[in-house]
Structure 1
């Protein structure tokens, strides 16, 4: 997951993303730490960040 890097590149704090996405703060923090989440949560986060699911979820370390 690229959540933290996308969030910070857009200048958003975790509380900002909570307001935009409706996803609880704890869930966002867990996603950033675990690098995994439910599809429904990923959709909310991608929509709030204005990115595709692929952009949010794709492991950029892979070629």
Structure 2
């Protein structure tokens, strides 16, 4: 999961992402720590960050294996 790198790359704080996505601060912090989440949350985050689910969820290693 590329959440933290995408979020910071766009200059967004966790509180701003909470506002944009409607997902709680704790949940966002847990996702950034664990690296996985519910698909419904991934969709909300991808929409808020204006990226695809693929960009949000796949690592470079996973993309290389295609």
TM-score by length of 2: 0.92
Residue 54 (structure 1) aligns with: 54
Q: Where does structure 2 lack aligned partners over 5 or more consecutive residues?
A: none
Q: How many residues align?
A: 63
SS at structure 2 position matched to 1:61: helix
Q: Secondary structure at the match of 1:55?
A: helix
Residue 59 of structure 1, CA deviation: 1.3
Runs of 4+ in 1 over 3 A off after TM superposition: none
Report which of the two structures shows the higher radius of gyration computed on alpha carbons.
2
- Aligned mates of 2:47, 2:14 — CA distance in 1: 15
Structure 1 unmatched runs, 5+ = none
What SS does the aligned partner of 2:60 have? coil
Q: CA deviation at 1:49?
A: 0.2
Given the two structures, how large is their TM-score scaled by the length of structure 1? 0.96
CA–CA separation in structure 1 for the residues paired with 2:23 and 2:60:
24
